[in-house]
């Protein structure tokens, strides 16, 4: 059975986070909780949520049969004295991983980070989480030619 392109995109992003980003986190001079995408949540891991959305195409994209997708990676980091720094570390390592692998091992033609949003707790020291939202735009050429 052939996988849908959406499944392949999600799996490629998951692999990038759990393999390539974790390798970069392991090379940092201070210990940063690694990314774990399972139900096993612990204090030594973080589990981001990955969301996929098909983007509206421009007229040019329709003409050249270019599919566009938006992927959002949302991190929630428990409030500690290092939480803000962890958000910056995740943003940097995810950016570096996408820079090093902009095609997600050939799944897409181009993956580009288009936004990073850092969210501090509304009230400091009240147990709320820090947040990081990374938004990507992925493009794939020629999907309309698969007939």
Burial 69-101 (b: 16+ CB within 10 A, else e): bbbbbebbbebeebbbebbebbbebbeebbeeb
Q: Where are the domains of the chain?
A: 5-127+136-141
pLDDT in tens, 75-103: 999 888 899 999 999 999 999 999 999 99
For residue 127, what pLDDT is reported?
73
pLDDT in tens, 27-40: 999 899 999 987 66
Q: State the average pLDDT for the chain.
A: 88
For residue 43, what pLDDT is reported?
64
Q: State the pLDDT confidence band at 1, using cuts at 50, 70 and 90.
A: very low
- The model's pTM: 0.87
């Amino acid at each position: 059975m052939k996988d849908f392109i959406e499944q392949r995109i999600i799996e490629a992003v998951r692999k990038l986070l759990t393999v390539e980003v974790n390798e970069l986190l392991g090379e940092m001079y201070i210990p940063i909780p690694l990314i774990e995408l399972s139900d096993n949540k612990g204090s030594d891991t973080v589990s981001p949520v990955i969301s996929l959305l098909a983007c509206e195409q421009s007229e040019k994209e329709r003409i050249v049969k270019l599919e566009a997708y938006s992927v959002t990676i949302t991190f929630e980091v428990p409030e500690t004295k290092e939480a803000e720094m962890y958000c910056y570390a995740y943003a940097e390592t995810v950016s570096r991983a996408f820079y090093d692998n902009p095609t997600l091992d050939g799944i897409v033609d181009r993956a580009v980070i288009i936004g990073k949003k850092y969210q501090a707790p509304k009230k400091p020291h009240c147990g709320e989480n820090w947040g990081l939202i990374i938004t990507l735009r992925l493009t794939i050429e020629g999907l309309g030619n698969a007939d």
